[in-house]
Amino acid sequence: MPDVATLKLTDWSEAAKALRGLTRDPGTTVLHLDGSGGLPAGGAHFVRQLDSVALPVVATVGGECDAAALAILAGATLGFVTDDLAVSVHAADVLALGLTSSLPAAIGAAPARSLLLSAALGAAALVRSGLARPAEDAIGMIHRLTDPTATSLVRSLRFAARSTPARAREFDAELRRIG
């Protein structure tokens, strides 16, 4: 799939630099964030930068992670988790990553509270909450996002999450007119 650019999440500074380059590449239609081997601690700057990506973003997370895993999954169009995922949740990380607003926007207030008030989470809890799907589902979903109309749908979903229903309908109408 030449339209999919994969960015390995092993160093947040390097990932941020690579993200800027990948989002400027006109041949990239889907961005795959690969954190399947675990994520380094921190990541708040990268997560903020991820909010501005106009492409569909697929994230795969696994291994040992801090709350950055939740932020990456909440910011992605689609998130996937490997069975070995172990997320430690600490209040300082949750606040630094802005998860008290982004996680409820992604999955709803009640599931977000359940995740954020846990000390540790595994893949099953994230799948149950609706934040992620099992990693084996990723290939088919990534392929679906390479469809050119997926970008408009992703833009509409992001706008709707931060808007009123009436404004979201206006934005959808605008997207239909231009594209």
75-123: pLDDT as tens digits: 998 999 999 999 999 999 999 999 998 898 889 999 999 999 999 999 9
The predicted model gives 25-45 an average pLDDT of: 88
Q: Evaluate if residue 55 carries a pLDDT over 70.
A: yes
**Average pLDDT taken over every residue of the chain:** 86
Q: Is pLDDT larger for residue 55 or for residue 73?
A: 73
Q: Evaluate if residue 149 carries a pLDDT over 80.
A: no
Cα 169 vs. chain centroid, distance in angstroms?
A: 23
Spatial CB neighbours of 139, under 8 Å, sequence gap ≥ 6: none
> What is the share, in percent, of the chain residues with pLDDT greater than 90?
52
Q: How far apart are CA 97 and CA 66, in angstroms?
A: 11
- Let me know if domain 4-146 sits in CATH 3.90.226.10: yes
| Number of other CB atoms surrounding residue 158 within 10 Å | 17
Q: How far apart are CA 160 and CA 123, in angstroms?
A: 27
Q: How confident is residue 163, by pLDDT bands cut at 50, 70 and 90?
A: low
